[in-house]
Amino acid sequence: MIAGRLFRSAIAVLGVLAASASQAQDRFITVSSTTSTEQSGLFGQLLPAFEKASGIKVRVVALGTGQALDLARRGDADVVFVHDKAAEEKFIAEGYGVKRQEVMYNDFVVIGPKADPAKAAGKDILEGLRRIEAAKAAFVSRGDKSGTHAAELRYWKAAGVDLDKAKGPWYRDTGSGMGPALNTAASMNAYILADRGTWLSFKNRGDLGIVVEGDTKLFNQYGVILVNPAKHPHVKQADGQKFIDWVVSAEGQKAIADYKIGGEQLFFPNARR
C-alpha cells in the first residue's frame, strides 16, 4: 500500500517535471516586424543570441510596417519592431502600444540602372525622383503600406510630384516585400527605393546599383514597442519586455553593430538607455 502511494507520488512528480519541461521548451514570443529586418538577415544574427541569453524563442511575422502594426492591433503579436515613427506614435496614441523605444537606424537608397537613363544620380532624393518622373523611367514601388512605402510616398509629395496624376505604365505598384520588389526592379531594370540593409544582402542585382544616397532625408529609424496587455490580456508582457530590454541593452546593441555583409555594417544601434 505504501509502495503504491510512493509509486503514484513519483508518477505525479514526473508529470509535473514533464509539464514544466514542456512549458520551458514552448516558451516563446511573437514579434511582428518588417521584411527589411527579416530579409536583410539581421534576425538571423539577433534571435539566436537572445534565445541563448534568455531561454525565450522568438517567432517573427515579417510584413510591411502598416501590416505589422495591424497584426499587433488584433492582438496577434507581443512586440512590434518596425520603422515608421509617425505610424508607431499613432499606434501608441490609440492605446495599442505601451512605449516606443528607438533601437537602430540605417538609411534608404534609390537603386536604379547603372546607365541611369533618368540622370537621377546624386545626393538629392527629391531631385532624383523629379527626374525619374519627368523621364517616365521605370520605377517599382512596394505599394504595401510598409515603412519603406510610406517613406517613398513622403518623398514624392515633398518633390512636388502628384502620384495620382503622374502614375502610368512607368510606375509599377507591386504590393510586395522588399526582396520581391527588388527582384521585380532587377527584372525590369527599374528604379526603386530600398533600405540599404536589404540591398546589401540582395543577390539578384542584375544591372542595378545605388543611384541616390547620402541625403539626410533618407535617414531610417527603427523602433520597438510592447503590445499593450490592457488591450490584449494574453500578451506575454514579461517575456516581451525581456526581448525589448535585451535589444536596447549593451549586448543587444553590440549584436546589431556586429552584423555585417562583406565587411559593411547594415544597421547602426542608437538606443537610449
pLDDT band at 240 (very low <50, low <70, confident <90, very high): very high
pLDDT digit string (tens) for 14-31?
Answer: 444 444 444 445 799 999
Give the predicted TM-score (pTM) of the model: 0.84
Q: What is the pLDDT of residue 39?
A: 86
User: Is residue 112 within 8 Å of 120, Cβ to Cβ?
Assistant: yes
CA–CA distance, 62 with 60 (Å, rounded to integer): 6
> What letter does residue 56 receive in the DSSP assignment?
-
- Ranking 112-126, 199-213, 220-234 by mean pLDDT, the lowest is 199-213
Nearest-CA neighbor of 86 among 197, 273, 223?
Answer: 223
Residue 175: burial class (beta carbons within 10 Å; 0-12, 13-18, 19+): middle
pLDDT digit string (tens) for 126-153?
Answer: 999 999 999 999 999 999 989 999 999 9
Catalogue all structural domains in the chain, each as residue range(s) with its CATH number.
Answer: 24-106+221-269 (3.40.190.10), 107-218 (3.40.190.10)
CA–CA distance, 121 with 203 (Å, rounded to integer): 22
Q: What is the pLDDT of residue 26?
A: 78
Q: What is the pLDDT of residue 1?
A: 53
Whole-number percent of the chain with pLDDT over 70: 90
Please say whether the dihedral angle defined by the alpha carbons of residues 165, 170, 174 and 179, taken in this order, is positive or negative.
Answer: negative
